[in-house]
């Protein structure tokens, strides 16, 4: 195994400044980056963008912010309306946690997203990444923003590795903290630019090294692009036939319905009855679905979104 690569302080400074200049010239015009963005809008965008491509998030975010422009407005929404508006973003429990978060913002902070990382972390559904991202992108404050894209950029440019470890390590977190500039504005710009590079250039499967603004500073390139030494430990996500697909099929049918959906209708949409029963049970337990009839016989059961499937957008 080659010795770990260490970039000099001068190289790190050049890396930060070059990426900042590149970002300010080429950043994607995402709606939550607009000058009139609000902290609430940034928080919503971060929750929506977890495990979901930005291209799918943007139109939903625009509709969402038009309808619920503040935590107070969203806190008062019905669960059925929330789940319909969430649509096909996936992992709909995020929508319920986001509403719990909005309610906590109203109750604890007078309806204003707090400009304090510890207070953000105390909100329901807000983890270390989301709290740091809101501090950087909503308030322009120094924080250590570490998502999948940032991890990959730092692994390559600074560490000389093809990809980071399968799970975030303490050493990675320490490196990210060490590299974040001291000044608020510089740190926020570094967070945004390193994340953007990973999203559009320094991608996992097909990095566009020929158009990378910092390829001349990249430790991975200097080392001759060594292969991923952790490839055998990485999980590959499947979709077809999984419980996730079954749950998504059920949620899609309920979002489209004007009333309760009978179990026999769902049986026609998903052929594995045992898997369907398991997934319906988990959806009910998660608070995403209500069973409205058929307490005894499965065949007589019907389901709807919480709060009444008749509630329309």
- The share of the chain scoring above pLDDT 90, in percent, equals 84
Facing residues of 302 across strands? 262, 293
What is the rounded average pLDDT for all residues in the chain?
92
Cβ neighbours of 116 (radius 10 Å)? 14
Helix (H) / strand (E) element for 79: namely helix 79-86
Q: Residue 217's closest CA among 1, 62, 2, 21?
A: 21
Give CA 72 to chain center in angstroms.
Answer: 22
Q: CA-based diameter of the chain, in Å?
A: 71
Domain chopping of the chain, boundaries:
1-26+140-223, 38-137, 243-304
- pLDDT of amino acid 228: 85
42, pLDDT greater than 90? yes
3, pLDDT greater than 60? no
Q: Are 167 and 180 in contact (CB under 8 A)?
A: no
Whole-number Cα distances in Å, 129 to 121, 191, 285:
9, 11, 27
DSSP code of residue 3: P
Homologous superfamily, domain 38-137: Hypothetical protein; domain 2 (1.10.340.30)
Q: Are 133 and 46 in contact (CB under 8 A)?
A: yes
What is the arithmetic mean of pLDDT over 52-75? 96
Confidence band of 312 (pLDDT split at 50, 70, 90): very low
CATH topology of domain 1-26+140-223: Endonuclease Iii, domain 2 (1.10.1670)
Q: Residue 229's closest CA among 171, 162, 167?
A: 162
What is the arithmetic mean of pLDDT over 62-70? 97
What is the arithmetic mean of pLDDT over 217-222? 96
Query: CA angle, 41 as apex, 40 and 47 as ends, to 5°?
Result: 90
Q: In this predicted model, what pLDDT tens digit does every residue of 193-214 receive, in sequence order?
A: 999 999 999 999 999 999 999 9
311, pLDDT greater than 70? no
Q: Which two tokens stand for residue 38?
A: 């609000």
- pLDDT of amino acid 234: 61
CATH topology of domain 243-304: Arc Repressor Mutant, subunit A (1.10.10)
- The share of the chain scoring above pLDDT 70, in percent, equals 92
- pLDDT of amino acid 6: 66
- pLDDT of amino acid 230: 73
Catalytic positions, written as ranges: 46
């Amino acid at each position: 195994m080659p010795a770990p690569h260490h970039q000099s302080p001068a190289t790190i400074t050049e890396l930060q400044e070059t990426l900042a200049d590149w970002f300010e010239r080429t950043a994607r015009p995402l709606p939550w980056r607009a000058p009139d963005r609000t902290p609430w809008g940034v928080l919503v965008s971060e929750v929506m963008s977890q495990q979901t491509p930005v291209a799918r998030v943007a139109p939903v975010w625009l509709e969402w912010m038009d309808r619920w422009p503040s935590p107070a407005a969203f806190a008062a929404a019905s669960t059925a309306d929330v789940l319909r508006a969430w649509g096909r973003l996936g992992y709909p429990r995020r929508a319920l946690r986001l509403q719990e978060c909005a309610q906590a913002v109203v109750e604890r902070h007078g309806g204003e997203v707090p400009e304090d990382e510890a207070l953000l972390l105390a909100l329901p559904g807000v983890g270390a990444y989301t709290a740091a991202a809101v501090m950087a992108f909503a308030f322009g404050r120094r924080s250590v923003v570490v998502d999948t894209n940032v991890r990959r950029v730092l692994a390559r440019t600074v560490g000389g590795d093809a990809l980071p470890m399968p799970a975030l390590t303490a050493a990675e977190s320490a490196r990210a903290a060490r590299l974040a500039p001291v000044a608020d504005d510089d740190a926020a710009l570094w967070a945004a630019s390193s994340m953007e590079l990973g999203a559009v250039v320094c991608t996992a499967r097909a990095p566009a090294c020929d158009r990378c603004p910092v390829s001349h500073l990249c430790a991975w390139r200097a080392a001759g692009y060594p292969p991923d030494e952790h490839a055998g430990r990485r999980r590959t996500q499947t979709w077809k036939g999984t419980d996730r697909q079954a749950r998504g099929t059920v949620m899609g049918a309920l979002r489209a319905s004007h009333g309760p959906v009978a179990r026999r209708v769902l049986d026609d949409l998903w052929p594995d009855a045992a898997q369907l029963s398991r997934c319906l049970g988990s959806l009910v337990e998660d608070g995403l679905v209500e069973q409205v009839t058929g307490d005894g016989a499965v065949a007589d059961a019907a389901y709807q979104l919480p709060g009444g499937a008749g509630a329309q957008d």
